[in-house]
Structures are given as C-alpha cells and as structure tokens.
Amino acid sequence: MLKQISGIVTLFILTLGFASTSVAATPRSTWVENEIYQYNHPYDSQLPQELATKMQKMTASPFAFYRGTAHIFYRDMQTLPGSGFVNSSTNAIWLEGDMHLQNLGGMRDSNDNNVFDTTDFDEGYLGPYVWDLRRMAVSILLAAKENGLSSSDAQDIVRNFLDAYLNKMSDFKGTNDELSYRLQESNTNGVVKDLIQQAAANSRSSLLNKYTLLNSSNRVFQTTSELQPVSSSTYSNITGAMSSYIASISSSKRYSNSYYTVKDIRLKLGSGTGSLGKYRYYLLIEGPSSTTDDDRILEMKQEGSSAVAIAVPGLLPSSVYGNHQGARVTIATKAMLSNTDPLVGYTTVSGIPFMLHEKSPYQVDFDYTLLTTKSKFMDAMGYAGKVVAKNHAISDQDYDASIVSESVDKQVTDITSPNKGVFKDEIVNFALDYATQVEYDYTSFVNAYNSGVTLY
C-alpha cells in the first residue's frame, strides 16, 4: 500500500509543537484508474448500467468525482500522516464517514420536528474525529471553487465551519444539551432555513403521487425509467426477508405486522453517486391503515463494508454489528441522529445485506449550487459545523458506552481549545493540498473515461 501511495509526498510542519500535514499533490493516473476499477468491479455483474451512470456522473466536476470516490480518500487516510489533535480518546469515535455538502439536508424527524441534519450513514464507522472534518473541508473547497468563489474566501468558509464545530462541541461539554439539540426554522437563516421550510412544505400525498398510482382500489408503483419491475423470484425473496427486517426494529418502535405488508416493489435506478452499482429497491407498504393515502415507501439499500474501514480495518469490532453491513449502517444512523426514523432496520436477501428506512416525503437534499456568495456559503457552513458536532457528541457514551466509552465533546474540546488557531490551520492546509490532489485525480479519471479505459 505504501508503494501505491508513494506518489504523494508528505511534509511535516511543526507549529507550536503540533505536527500538521501538508500534502504535495501529484498526478497518479494508473493508481487512480486501478482504485476505481477495484472498488467498482465487484458490482459489474449485477448492475453494469448503474456503474455506467456512476462514471458519467463523476465526470461532471471534481466535486462530483469526490462524492463518488470516498474509497480513494480513505485509501489515502491509511497512509498519510495523522493529526496533531487526535489522541487515544478521539481516534475511534462514530464518523458519518462520507461527510460532504450533499449528505446534508432538510428532513422531518420522528417527533415531527423539521430540521437540518445529516442524511446518509452508509459509510458510518469508527475513526479519528478529524476525518469527518477533513472530508467536509475538502468538499467545501471544491464546491466553492465550482461556484466561482476565490481561494481565500473558500478558506474563510472552511474556518467558519471549523469554528462552528469547535464552539458547539465546547457548548456541549459538561452538559447533555447535545441530546436535544437541533437546527430548525427558528434558529437558522439563509439557504438552510429555506431548505427546512421546503422540507416542511412537502406532503405524503405528493410523494405517493410522484412514484405511485391507484390501480382500481389498490396503490402500486408506476413503472418509469427509474422504477423498474423486479422478477417474481426477487419479489418473493424480498417479501420473505421482511420478517427479519421487522425483527431488527426495537420492540418499542415496532408497529403491528400489518403495517409492513408489502404492496409493490420496484428496482430504483439512478439515485446518488457513490452507491450506484449496488441494489436499491423501493417497497410500497401498507402503513398505519388499510386506506391508500397513508401508504409508506421504504428505501432498501444494499450495503457493503464502510470505506472508512479501508483505513482502519477492524476498528469497529464486527461483533458490534453482527458482521452485517446493514446492521452497521442502522446502528450508525441511530447513533448520530436524534428521534431516528422508526422504520430504520436491516435484513438479508439472497446473501446480500440491506439497510431499510423510510423514503421520507420530508427530505430535501442540500443544493450547494445555491451558495453563490461568500456570505451565503459562510452562513450555511456554520450550520454544517454544528451538525457534525452534534453527530459526534450524541454518538459517544451517550449512545452506547460499550462502543465509544468517552465523552467526545469533552475530549475534542480539551485537545483543541489550547490551540484552536493551529488546529484550524492544520485542517485548512490539509484540505487545500488534498483538494488539489482530487483535481489531479479527477483529471486522470476523465482522461481515462474519455479514452475508453475499463473502469469497472
């Protein structure tokens, strides 16, 4: 592995006794092509057309490429120097794992609060807390550049994100405030407030009308280019796996069996970027009553091992999640979200692990292209910093002390507060150099794609 990464030269800068890292970016075309092929090829036999869509999406911009290649980021985290601000108490906390702008969004939690929060935990795993910060910082720089902002403005935005994270962690230290903390319409502004209001204005009927239709007195899915019928054997296998899914939900959140009655199933194509190539199904289920206007849609996603585990294999003991990747994602979701969707659970179909959750009418993805000025971007990333702090703070001993035994908000605050400026410099310097590496890697990828190199 060291040989593979040898193209990256690492420089150590000692500042006030803390080692920060600066990465001299360099082209590494053959390595990038190989990493993309090795990661995606296992899915070629199941959904090659989805992998073709993934590759095409990743050609759009360095940011789009970065979204689809978390595995490359963690291959690098495996070998690049660590942070001077990580100790034994902060090197194995719950990470969202794929922290970038488009894994944030507006949503409604199970207590009917309309909030701004994290929307995806497919890569949830244990690791040093700075990895979520590094990954988000790089995504900010890439998105800001794409939106036409200057490098100095983009760095200010990253610093604002980090300030918000550190300040909120400090607020949480010594309290239980993180357990009830949420960003909603009353304490947000700008694009984030608009997003929360947009999510709140949505309705279940509009979601059902988008994806389903009434066939006599029964509701079924529409068949479109994105929603494809499944074979009778697949249909049978999925319905047969529902009992295991229901059993995965804690008894306190479990509804009567009739709630989960499957009415229709479709293969969902074209969603996301990084997960393209894996199976994703929409399941129409009965919901609270036998009427058709309160049916629910479940999203059922195939899960592989976390990309974070590339860098720290085995750091999250497989016994924690029963060696079931769907269970891992379910636990990560419950750990980092408050008032979690009661339909979150997992099952196995034909030997493949899946995670299930509601396809919510009230979830709206974050659109970073709206951040067209420095002030809009600064404002939004201040809220993003608070979200990441909340993710980390509630998933520590507050969630399950047998997984994370420390108070992460206390530990992070204690290790960073003496030298916040140095800490922010370390993250910004890493992000600047790594964003340049992503641009090199993106160019290598696009050249390979245009040249017809086999990438999956």
pLDDT of residue 24: 82
Measured from the Cβ of residue 190, the count of other Cβ atoms closer than 10 Å reads 17
Give mean pLDDT, residues 87-95: 98
- pLDDT at residue 9 greater than cutoff 60: no
Helix 420-450 × helix 29-40 angle, to 10°: 80
With beta carbons less than 8 A apart as the criterion, state whether 252 and 276 touch: no
pLDDT of residue 435: 98
Give mean pLDDT, residues 28-57: 98
Banded model confidence at residue 217, pLDDT cuts 50, 70, 90: confident
- pLDDT at residue 84 greater than cutoff 90: yes
- In angstroms, the CA 142 to CA 28 distance is 19
Banded model confidence at residue 251, pLDDT cuts 50, 70, 90: very high
- pLDDT at residue 16 greater than cutoff 70: no
- pLDDT at residue 303 greater than cutoff 50: yes
pLDDT of residue 1: 30
**What is the pTM for the complete model shown?**
0.94
- In angstroms, the CA 128 to CA 150 distance is 30
E strand map for 18-83: 18-24
- In angstroms, the CA 82 to CA 130 distance is 9
pLDDT of residue 22: 56
Label residue 370 exposed, middle or buried (CB < 10 Å: 0-12, 13-18, 19+).
middle
Helix 151-172 × helix 130-146 angle, to 10°: 150
- In angstroms, the CA 31 to CA 71 distance is 13
pLDDT tens-digit series, residues 330-368: 999 999 999 999 999 999 999 999 999 999 999 999 999
Q: Edge-to-edge, what's the strand order for the sheet holding 114-118?
A: 114-118, 104-108, 364-365
With beta carbons less than 8 A apart as the criterion, state whether 97 and 121 touch: yes
pLDDT tens-digit series, residues 156-207: 999 999 999 999 999 999 999 999 999 999 999 999 999 999 999 999 999 9
pLDDT tens-digit series, residues 225-248: 999 999 999 999 999 999 999 999
Banded model confidence at residue 60, pLDDT cuts 50, 70, 90: very high
Banded model confidence at residue 23, pLDDT cuts 50, 70, 90: low
pLDDT tens-digit series, residues 261-272: 999 999 999 999
- pLDDT at residue 381 greater than cutoff 90: yes
Q: Which two tokens stand for residue 320?
A: 């924690």
pLDDT of residue 255: 98
Banded model confidence at residue 286, pLDDT cuts 50, 70, 90: very high
- pLDDT at residue 43 greater than cutoff 90: yes
pLDDT of residue 216: 87
* Average pLDDT of the residues of the chain: 94
